[in-house]
Amino acid sequence: MKPRLETSQEFLEGRNKQHFLAFTGDPLQWRPEDREKAKGLLEESLLNNQLRPVTLLASNRIDDRQECSRRPARMIFRNVPVPDQSAFQRGPVDCSVPRAFTCNDLGTAQSDAKPCKATRYPKLPPPHFACSIPAAFGHWSSLATSLLNPDQMQLVPRELDKLVTSQLGFLAQRRLARGVRLNHAEATALIASNIQELIRDGHHTVADLMAIGKMMLGRRHVLPSVTSTVHEVFVEGTFPSGTYLVTIHEPISTEDGDLEKALYGSFLPVPSKDIFPDPDPEDYHPLKMPGAVIPVKQSRIMLNEGRKRISLKVTSKGDRPIQVGSHYHFIEVNPHLDFDRLRSYGYRLDIPAGTAIRFEPGDSKTVTLVEIGGNKVIHGGNFLASGKVDLTRADEILERLQKAGFAHTPEPASGITHIDPHSMDRESYMRMFGATTGDLIRLGSTDLWIKVEKDLTSFGDECTFGGGKTLREGMGQASGRCSDDVLDTVITNALIVDWTGIYVADIGIKDGNIVGIGKAGNPDVMDGVYPNMFVGSGTDVISGERNIVTAGGIDTHIHLITPDQVQEALASGVTTMLGGGTGPSTGTNATTCTPGPNHMKNIIQACDGLPINFGITGKGNDCQPQSLREQIRAGAAGLKLHEDWGCTPAAIDTCLSVCDEYDVQCLIHTDTLNESGFVEQSIQAFKGRAIHTYHTEGAGGGHAPDIISAVQFPNVLPSSTNPTRPFTLNTLDEHLDMVMVCHHLSKNIREDVAFAESRIRAETIAAEDVLHDLGAISMISSDSQAMGRCGEVILRTWNTAHKNKLQRGPLEEDRGTGADNFRVKRYISKYTINPAITQGMSHLIGSVEVGKVADLVMWKFSDFGTKPNMVLKSGMIAMAMMGDANGSISTIEPMLMRAMYAAHLPRTSIMFVSQASKSLGIIDSYGLKRRVEVVKNCRNISKKDMKFNDVMPKMRVDPESYDRTVQHITYQAKGENGWSREDVLLVLEKQKSRKAGER
């Protein structure tokens, strides 16, 4: 076989893109010189970037997959000169590609090839060759493959998800190998990653892996809390026979596990089990677990109190099981259940809502039925008794059910005049529906406990969704009601934590707003359904059982440095950002100002597609008003005064005057230099006017060292930022470099260093903790990427509350209650309602109240304050913990906080602007797709309007020693926080919390 290869003039001139180069024959049988010649031609074409491979299976019929699998592959290289084939075949062949072929066809370009018909490929002549590139050309084939396949990995999103699991799993293995006890995320990742590797090995069945997954980690290898938070791990992988789900139930179920299995595939040395401490049984007490619940003891819950009851004997005459749910109209049940149907008219089963009774073939049971509630109107079922319950219709109904063949056997009344209502013990009720009145819940891993103050749902008529549950047609879901008359979405049985209270209720959402908080459902069969909280066929459901619902967080100190802040903030539970900037400019890195109308317009338009509420602040540093008015008319929701732009008394006075004129808030970062005066001079420049004072704290900026004393004035609305929250052992050490970078200071200039050091004062930082606990500092914000962390506003708020509980004990208002409700309301107000009031947004956001926008955050009890389970914007899900999109269920690992549909719908978010920009039509000219709302009532407020944070203590800071005098309180740093390595994988390094339960 002597190859003779010629160059096609058509190819060189680029006229014919359908020519290709085909190697035929088996190169293993070629003479060495022929193989080298073919290799040279291919290599030359590769270097000229002229080849594109198409792999063909050499078979008489290409769609004969079984035959193809036994034959070697053929490689064709398109878009290269067509050689004279005489040296390779028995005769010359025209190798032009038939018109019927495309780049994706698996046919060969022989002159006698027939066009494809329907789904069949053309029949081919006997194969002339079998070109095995690796065997023929050795290592040189890797060059051909890499150049011919620039996208050779060809990964899809689900494979990238698996890489996340693999990487985190290996990280967990490394930590485990050096004796670190794993947290929730690490333990889950290690198990999931190892299961994926075992699936790839191809030696195990699903059942094998379900057993192996329980053997990897023991209790000694994980933090105590992990045993209560990791109950199931869902993994999917590609087995030799396809993709299947592996579920590991209770994966931490032994003391010692199997470290060799846990470190499988890592090639890490297996450590001695002695490097892991023996588990202390006290550490695993249920009350020490995150999100622990203490139901009221020695108390039972009566269901459907005050309603009539009857008992009936029911016999199943069917040949298949029949299961009847709690709210199914009993007269309408399966025709093969035999009982007195007329006596059951207007009744349903007296069992917990959403449960069922099962009748096996031949079963005979005596059941208790309870009268339906509400308007007593029957809909649905088998259309036997539709309409309002009316005993005068008995004969009509009897005739109908007999005609339809429904079993009916009259049963005399039993003579029993009273039947006790069904009851549940509190613990069983909590597991099914969540906490109720009087129950205690631990907030995450903190030492904070809340007590449910009231429950607005109805015992026995709870809204539950799922197979056999209550929210079904004609039962908990009302029939025949148009969408205008029913909710868009209902959150069922939610535990609301808000400044307005801590209570259980259904939350009704319509047109993006909260329209009802109370009892939702079907008024035809349920008691106590609120008039504006009907559930119909136009209603979606979010199950809130065993979840806490809070208002979305509001961060009022945002440097608009990067749009990526939005995703991080939203994933933490913040739904509104207020601040300024233009990107990572030097000015924005230091100040929250969007200067001038051009920048204002550009930033407002740039934020239009970001899934979070915005308010943009302009630059207020100007002793003349013209420029300030321009910015407000361009859409500024407030003006920011910052020392880096010159925060003089003249600028302060002018800015406040313009803010009064346009009803927007003035925000200030006062003068650390004390250049124009001390804190007293700035307070005088305020002239009693409302002002939001940033950095009313122990560090971070403002008059050194006593800006914190501004908390005592009624017109000052104080906030602090989260880098100093709370004061711990590591707080001071990180701050100097923060200040130097953020404010463009030089370590080579002595005065710059002195400036930075003057802002870091341990004594006033410690006092800041106390002032927050007293309610003297009203708000917490981030100062994002300018010393603060936008994803930790909520986290650090609750860390501060936890630390204060440990050091200061219960607040006076909470003493004797066994809970921390007052303290919890105080701290949640700091990042919800109080920023909303301060910035003129409280008419729309900041609390869980009827009439407010449904910007809501849902938390598992165990994860409260750390990682939300779901974030809603205008009642639509914007972010949620979600598994692999290719998964058979939504909880396949890795579970990541991912953007949902609301993140792609601009109108679910609000742009807060000045009234002037709206009235003048300027904001309308920007062409925004999102909702535009104006701020209002910013100038007529005072500290007395701050919910649970209106205390104005007399305070003095000694300028030499920094000693503080605040109601004779002293304070120290603490090295413990509520959330620790139990909750965070990589980002946050905090000291391990005190043993939970030591209250």
Q: Is there a contact between 509 and 823 (Cβ–Cβ < 8 Å)?
A: no
Q: DSSP 3-state assignment of 514? A: strand
Q: Is there a contact between 615 and 934 (Cβ–Cβ < 8 Å)?
A: no
Q: Is the peptide bond before 726 cis (omega within 30 degrees of 0)?
A: yes
**Residue count of the chain:** 999
What is the rounded distance in angstroms from the CA atom of residue 356 to the CA atom of residue 374? 21
| Tokens found for residue 35 | 């193989």
Among 448, 439, 438, which Cα is nearest to 826's?
448
> In degrees rounded to 5, what are phi and psi of residue 869?
-90, -30
| Tokens found for residue 900 | 């949902």
H or E stretch at 324: strand 322-325
What is the rounded distance in angstroms from the CA atom of residue 367 to the CA atom of residue 328? 14
The 3-state secondary structure of 366-402, one letter per residue: EEEEEECCCCCEECCCCCCCCEECCHHHHHHHHHHHH
Among 809, 864, 831, which Cα is nearest to 948's?
831
Catalytically active residues, by annotation: 743
| Tokens found for residue 375 | 């308007």
Among 163, 810, 813, 930, which Cα is nearest to 566's?
930
Q: Is there a contact between 533 and 471 (Cβ–Cβ < 8 Å)?
A: no
Of the chain, the end-to-end C-alpha distance in Å amounts to: 89
Radius of gyration (C-alpha) of the chain in whole angstroms: 36
Amino acid occupying residue 495: L
For the beta carbon of residue 722, count every other beta carbon within 10 angstroms.
Answer: 29
The residue whose two tokens read 């879901």 is 477
Q: DSSP 3-state assignment of 778? A: coil
| Tokens found for residue 866 | 């750390």
One-character DSSP codes across 719-763 = EEEGGGSS--TTTTTTHHHHHHHHTT--TT-HHHHHHHHHTB-HH
Q: Is there a contact between 584 and 636 (Cβ–Cβ < 8 Å)?
A: no
Among 740, 783, 789, which Cα is nearest to 588's?
783
Q: Is there a contact between 133 and 141 (Cβ–Cβ < 8 Å)?
A: yes
What is the rounded distance in angstroms from the CA atom of residue 588 to the CA atom of residue 569? 18
Among 323, 331, 304, 448, which Cα is nearest to 398's?
331
* DSSP letter (8 states) at residue 82: P
815 CB-contact burial (10 Å; exposed 0-12 / middle 13-18 / buried 19+): exposed
* Residues near 70 by beta carbon (within 8 Å), at least 6 away in sequence: none
* Residues near 747 by beta carbon (within 8 Å), at least 6 away in sequence: 740, 753
The 3-state secondary structure of 152-211, one letter per residue: CCCCCHHHHHHHHHHHHHHHHHHHHHCCCCECHHHHHHHHHHHHHHHHHHCCCCHHHHHH
Q: Is there a contact between 903 and 878 (Cβ–Cβ < 8 Å)?
A: yes
What is the rounded distance in angstroms from the CA atom of residue 606 to the CA atom of residue 928? 10
For the beta carbon of residue 621, count every other beta carbon within 10 angstroms.
Answer: 25
Amino acid occupying residue 530: Y
Q: Is there a contact between 182 and 221 (Cβ–Cβ < 8 Å)?
A: yes
